[in-house]
Structure 1
């Protein structure tokens, strides 16, 4: 019976990983298509008037996909405003292992270890996703003011690179860190649009990708980039206001989905730690084994349905 429980726990881990990979893959493909579409429209808009008098205009150079060397999860840590390296993952693993050991020692069986590890992974994922959402919201709220300063300095006669550097010095964190990284890449020889795209790659924000495309087209082809940047700033303010209203409307449903999905297993683990005698019949009796298997199956189905409900909003 312990083997069956371990297999069910492993299946739960695989299902959670598959759902995460599926959602992240679809989101990455949507961002890639949106950026490609915006780049094509901007290229046609700028190159069409210039082809008549200047011949073939150079096409925007592709953005480098290289990322700074480091641990595989460094991009995720930067996106969540956490220190890169091994410290945070090791702390999370140590905490999960300690909690799993305490639970297994209290219950007297090893089948609790994978379940506690899965719950710890879900709780850590929820915590990291909340930090990512907050950081992305801060970046999107700071971008319109940065674009306003950029447009104002460009309208005064400064070059786009100089206006970008001056505006970056007036921006608070966390956007200041991203812009400082962009300027450090430009000092190493990268063009401004490539440097911005590479610095913004860990954050996975479509607005930054579009901004890098606009800067690249303006630097290589020319045109009134200040008008496009001003429209971007106005659009981002309207979009942020609409997103805040949508978040306020749907926050109760999304939070309810998280609570309903995590409350039963977390409550069971806490009860098993505090009162192990209460769970002894479930572990040692055949009827308890069946009830536990049914509970795991229903939890998997309910978690998936709640996930689909939260993603559809």
Structure 2
């Protein structure tokens, strides 16, 4: 009996000591763990809020804008390689079959005319290639550059209209409709297509991307990126667009200043490039016998070919020197 009593008392003492060690200490450890978890959760929440706040800082927005600019430039470079995109940039109906028919017809006519006048097959082949392949693409580039220049000249006015509409309480879509109605071509029709894409359910960002494909200008890319950043991070859209309008006008003033400062170099390059062939044509008209061997003798043809190659290299070098990017 004494053995059972001693065993029972020992069990009670050991159970009490164990409960004290596990229960009291465990509750304190559990409390400390809960406090640590709470502190860790608060720290994580603060870090998350700090990252969220940092993502809206001007530096982060600038990084996002630079990233989107690089992506848009890569897409633009790929789009410039296709003939369909060139036709769209020029404001023409993208009909590649018709373009090739007219190009081939123009090349054949030019080759026949040069062959009848000079009786030199090599010159006729060069003229056919120049007028059948080079001239149509040069004309597309000329139309595209003229159209982009007109678009850029009145684009700050369109942004000002949109800013005034936003400040007066109008939605962005209503401001885009006003731009499409009030401003002339090519800006008005482009914004009309933008409104039509939005009306059929396409998002504003996607509609602006389609518009950039038709009009690949840096100013329109800036506008697209500002709208996209504002939709993701929020902010005062009227203030952002107002700053963009001031930047675009400053770019235009800088462009005109560079054009005025480089006008002398451009005129000198044009004179130097036109002078050798002009003098050669003048001598041939006034004294055909003096320039005749260059056209009839194979050695003269080789000399003309070498002169043309060197002239082309010089013209490209001068173009590189006077072509300022801004």
Residues 107-126 of structure 1 aligned to structure 2 (within 5 Å): 107-117=118-128, 119-120=130-131, 122-126=134-138
Residue in structure 1 matching 2:255, options 243, 249, 256: 243
- Residue 80 (1) aligns with residue 100 (2): no
Question: 1:281 Cα deviation (Å)?
Answer: 2.3
Q: Check if 1:209 corresponds to 2:215.
A: no
Number of equivalences: 255
1:38-117 matched pairs, under 5 angstroms:
47-48=55-56, 72-86=82-96, 87-117=98-128
Partners of 2:53 and 2:95 lie apart in 1 by 43
Q: TM-score, normalised by structure 1?
A: 0.67
* 1:255 CA displacement: 5.1
Paired residues of 1:154 and 1:163 also in contact (CA < 8 A): yes
Q: 1:251 to 1:124 in 2, by over 3 A?
A: farther
**Residue of structure 1 equivalent to 2:239:** 227
- Tell me which residue corresponds to 2:183: 171
Describe the SS at the equivalent of 2:56: helix
Distance 2:54 2:206 in 1: 19
Preserved contact between residue 107 and residue 276 of structure 1 (Cα < 8 Å)? no
Name stretches of at least 5 consecutive residues in structure 1 with no aligned partner: 1-43, 50-59
1:167 positional shift: 3.1
User: Aligned equivalents of 1:298 and 1:178: distance in 2?
Assistant: 43
Question: Are the aligned partners of 2:111 and 2:127 in contact in 1 as well (CA < 8 Å)?
Answer: yes
- Of the structure 1 ranges 100-109 and 265-274, higher mean CA displacement relative to structure 2 is found in 265-274
Please give the per-residue CA displacement for 1:150-182, whole angstroms capped at 9, x wherever unaligned: 111111222223332333322221101111121
| Residues 77, 274 of structure 1: alpha-carbon distance in 2 compared, 3 angstrom cutoff | farther
Provide the rounded CA distance (Å) in 2 between the counterparts of 1:263 and 1:82.
35
Query: Would you say the 8 A contact 1:80–1:132 is kept in 2?
Result: yes
Report the structure number with the largest CA radius of gyration.
Answer: 2
Q: Secondary structure at the match of 1:169?
A: helix
Q: What displacement does 1:262 show?
A: 5.8
Structure 2 unpaired stretches of 5+: 1-51, 58-67
1:260-271 alignment, distance < 5 Å: 260-261=272-273, 264=276
Cα pair 1:80 1:128 within 8 Å, conserved: yes
Partner of 1:6: none
Q: Is the 8 A contact 1:147 1:233 kept in 2?
A: yes
Considering Cα pairs closer than 8 Å and 6+ residues apart, tell me whether 1 or 2 has the greater RCO.
Answer: 1
Give, in angstroms, the shift of residue 134 of structure 1.
2.3
Change (3 A) 1:298 1:271: same
| Aligned-partner SS, 1:305 | helix
Partner of 1:53: none
**Do the aligned partners of residues 273 and 194 (structure 1) sit closer, same or farther apart at CA in structure 2, a change above 3 Å counting?**
farther
Please state how far the C-alpha of 1:266 moved relative to its aligned partner: 8.1
Cα gap change, 1:45 to 1:199, in 2 (>3 Å): farther
Match of 1:8 in 2: none
Alignment of 1:20-31 (within 5 A): none
With 114-123 and 191-200 compared, the bigger mean Cα shift is at 114-123
